[in-house]
Structure 1
Amino acid sequence: LSRAPRVRPSTTAALAEPLMPARRAVSGSLRGISVSQAGQPEVAARRVSSLNDGEALLGFSSGLCSGRCFLYWLIFLSCLGGLLFGYDTGVISGASLLLKERFRLGAVELEAVVSSTILFAALGSLASGPINMRLGRRPTILLGSATFTLGALLMAASASFGTLVLGRVIVGVAVGLSSGTVPMFIAEVAPTAMRGKLVALNNVCIVSGQVLAGLVDGSFALVPAGWRYMLGLAAVPAVVQLVGMAFMPESPRWLLEQGRRGEARAAMLRSRERTPTCEAEVESEIAEMAAAITLQREAEAALRRATVPIRPVDEGGGGGGGGGG
């Protein structure tokens, strides 16, 4: 039997020598991490506590629906806002014929019914910015869902021209809130590789809502008081969105802006596939978001400094001193 050749110590050292720089670098990094964590035990403890609180708050650690199915469910609920946008702006074209006969509307009154939604949608979209910054994306979507529901039910139950216009105004505010929030929310919760097509789904839902409005108009055109069904059916997807979004997480970016890093991490993990690199990818995205938020705040501060008018120097004190001399 032939014996296996022995590896000389010099040969072993020669083989291990190329690996020594990498080994020293890794050990040095680990020592740096240990020293930094040991130097800041309270900060590390607070971070771990924040992570655990965030994951428990969002139900991530409970093993509920997570990963790709949760992401698609979240996007579906969000895109209902686009569906309602298209439906409420399109359904009035068929309902206006019945409304004109029911309320004996003239040209001016009919234009008020049709255009009031568009006017207040513009105002609602302007208001969506401050509301999003103050309350968050999810509460703004919930506010839009509740407003959609109220407006749809008010239009369906209206017995006068004034009530009908009021319902259209409320729906217009909801359209503005939705159009200013849903695309931003989808972009902030979607993974980087899927962000473009998921944001585009909102536009698809807007057009689908207009198509659905045409089908509903045709279905109830010959039904007595069919306009009530046309206008009131918008409450169905609005209620679905209202109930569903109540259990969804907030936008990770908004949570980061509020300093709630643990909840932001838990929200992102909830909508990511559980792969070996999932947590590392989430940490990388959070770091990119944090850097973008820092740059945005610096740019806003620079813009404020550039646009604030220069105050004149108060010469009162200097003049008094000169007079005394």
Structure 2
Amino acid sequence: MDAELEAAGGLRTGFFHLDFADKKYFTWVIVAFASMGGLLSGLDQSLISGANLFLPKDLHLDTRQNSLVNSAMPLGAVGGALILGVCNERFGRRWSIIISTILYTIGAALEAGSINYGMIVASRVILGIGVGLEGGTVPVYVAETVERKVRGNLVSLYQFNIALGEVLGYAVAAMFVTVPGNWRYILGSSLVFSTIMFIGMLFLPESPRFLMHKGRTLDAYKVWKRIRGTDTAEAREEFFVMKVSVLDEQQVTTEGSKNKRFPWMDFFTVPRARRALVVANMVILLGQLTGVNAIMYYMSVLMTQIGFNDLQSTYMSLVGGGALLIGTIPACFLMERFGRRFWANMMLPGFFIGLVIIGCSYLIPVETNLAGAEATYLIGLILYMGFFGCYACLTWVVPSEVYPTYLRSYGMTTSDALLFLASFIVTYNFSAMQAAMGQTGLSLGFYGGIAVVGWFWQILFLPETKDKTLEEIDLIFEKPTREIVAENLKNTKQAVGDFFAGRWGGKRASTEVPPPSKETDKDEV
């Protein structure tokens, strides 16, 4: 490869081609801008909360119009998720992220300058397309570029930075709440971060794995020399393994599918692929249909409903955002220790309790006991957002693990689109559902009811993938559903015993993966 590189003129140099003598600095630069991707996503999802107190009055929006303004971003994100695969394959990871930052910038500028209902909805949709495209691309770009020993930490770090961006959004709203024309400054503030990220991405290289995937081996080697170097045996070995794995993946794509022309059809015809699709997307639905984005987008409005004034509501929104951020931290460090099933089944009841307390807070008469109503609501909100922060990491981790290798890009596109579609449905219908069901009925009855049903589903159908290789995960999902359920019930009993005995995160009994049953292909999910 070095000989080919010299024959081709050596490493390309120029203003936009960074090169560090110590290659670890390149990893830090990539991490910094990948983190900004999560920060931007979270920021643009929470800024609307503060703007909600003032924007509808200035633009003369009714309740349904304001619902569409709030939900237009996740609706646009569905479109961004649907074009994710095409953009990644046609333009590459780096340019897909650059395109998303351009969409972020255009959307934020139009938001800040909106003069009517149509303009604000269009700007939110454009912004959402950027969110959907960036959200599915940045984790892939990082995973394909940084060292393998830090890869897993950075996936969780991305979710942490989304939560950090959400807190920052509430803080920005608090900064501008007393400024005339405040909502325009609030929504336009993300221009600063999207511009910084756009400039930074111009200096970063394309993913070497993508270049290898496209048959551009020499270009991949050039990038590898810049970001990792070839001085160490580990770096040389990892480049060789990357090359072999890409070739193997291409072979699996063409030979591993029962549907040669349309591999995604295997989600309907192959039980193993179908089970993975159901499990990944059920985790995503449980994260969204329990109301987190509706509560996040309308947090300032909800604060006014419980008795806070506009100024207090803007500042108190930081409480919910802060709880979400703090709740994300344990998942970054402890999920691998406790396992996916334990984590999911312990966190979901936690935010159900938060929903119960939130629902009960609305039953306390504000006129006679304002302090009690506000305190009860805030306790419920902190529990809900804190436990959901822990649970939210599963919506990134589970889909990234359970799909077969040759279907992973199709599966992730499906999961990414479903996440934002569910967010749109919940956010758009929030005001109407609250009017129809009542505040307690929506938070406790509907969102809480889904959490209860989802908890029982997880106990029965969510398998453990902790400490499993991708090949072992394949074996798990090749087993008939009834065998997965039987093993889950057995492991649940063992886990409950371990929990009350203080054996947290320890070895579980029966962690071996038995060979799949001969009846696998006949079994339906």
Task: Give the structure-2-normalised TM-score.
Answer: 0.47
2 CA distance for matches of 1:112 and 1:243? 32
- Alignment counterpart, residue 56 of structure 2, candidates 97, 100, 120: 100
**Secondary structure, aligned partner of 1:223:** coil
Between the two proteins, what is the percent identity of the paired residues? 32
The answer to whether residue 89 in structure 2 is matched with residue 139 in structure 1 is: no
Equivalent in the alignment of 1:18: none
Equivalent in the alignment of 2:175: 219
Q: Which runs of 5+ in 2 are unaligned?
A: 266-525
What whole-Å deviation, never above 9, does each CA across 1:258-287 have from its counterpart, x for those lacking one? Answer: 211122122223222675325523433333
What whole-Å deviation, never above 9, does each CA across 1:17-61 have from its counterpart, x for those lacking one? Answer: xxxxxxxxxxxxxxxxxxxxxxxxxx99656535x55x3258899
In the TM superposition, 1:128-207 aligns within 5 A as: 128-207=84-163
- Alignment counterpart, residue 270 of structure 1, candidates 223, 226, 233: 226
Total equivalences in the alignment? 265
**Secondary structure, aligned partner of 1:91:** helix
2 CA distance for matches of 1:224 and 1:308? 52
The answer to whether residue 7 in structure 2 is matched with residue 49 in structure 1 is: yes
Question: Which has the larger Rg?
Answer: 1
Q: Which runs of 5+ in 1 are unaligned?
A: 1-42, 310-325
**Secondary structure, aligned partner of 1:295:** helix
Equivalent in the alignment of 1:320: none
Equivalent in the alignment of 2:37: 81
**Secondary structure, aligned partner of 1:97:** coil
> How far does residue 63 in structure 1 lie from its aligned partner after superposition?
5.1
Equivalent in the alignment of 2:26: 70
Taking a change above 3 Å as real, the CA distance of residues 143 and 165 of structure 1, as seen in their structure-2 partners, is: same
Greater RCO (CA < 8 Å, at least 6 residues apart): 1
**Secondary structure, aligned partner of 2:68:** helix
2 CA distance for matches of 1:146 and 1:158? 18
Q: Is contact 2:73-2:125 (8 Å) kept?
A: yes
CA RMSD of aligned residues (A): 2.8
The amino acid across from 1:49 in the alignment is A
The answer to whether residue 251 in structure 2 is matched with residue 295 in structure 1 is: yes
What whole-Å deviation, never above 9, does each CA across 1:65-91 have from its counterpart, x for those lacking one? Answer: 651111111121122221111111111
The amino acid across from 1:297 in the alignment is T
Taking a change above 3 Å as real, the CA distance of residues 59 and 98 of structure 1, as seen in their structure-2 partners, is: closer
Q: Is contact 1:132-1:181 (8 Å) kept?
A: yes
- Alignment counterpart, residue 233 of structure 1, candidates 182, 189, 196: 189
**Stretches of 4+ aligned residues off by more than 2 angstroms:** 43-50, 57-66, 268-303, 305-309
**Secondary structure, aligned partner of 1:56:** coil
Equivalent in the alignment of 2:211: 255
> How far does residue 175 in structure 1 lie from its aligned partner after superposition?
0.4
1 CA distance for matches of 2:142 and 2:230? 20
Q: Is contact 1:84-1:237 (8 Å) kept?
A: yes
The amino acid across from 2:167 in the alignment is V
Taking a change above 3 Å as real, the CA distance of residues 276 and 220 of structure 1, as seen in their structure-2 partners, is: same
The amino acid across from 2:92 in the alignment is G
Q: Is contact 2:20-2:26 (8 Å) kept?
A: no
Taking a change above 3 Å as real, the CA distance of residues 256 and 227 of structure 1, as seen in their structure-2 partners, is: same
Taking a change above 3 Å as real, the CA distance of residues 307 and 218 of structure 1, as seen in their structure-2 partners, is: closer
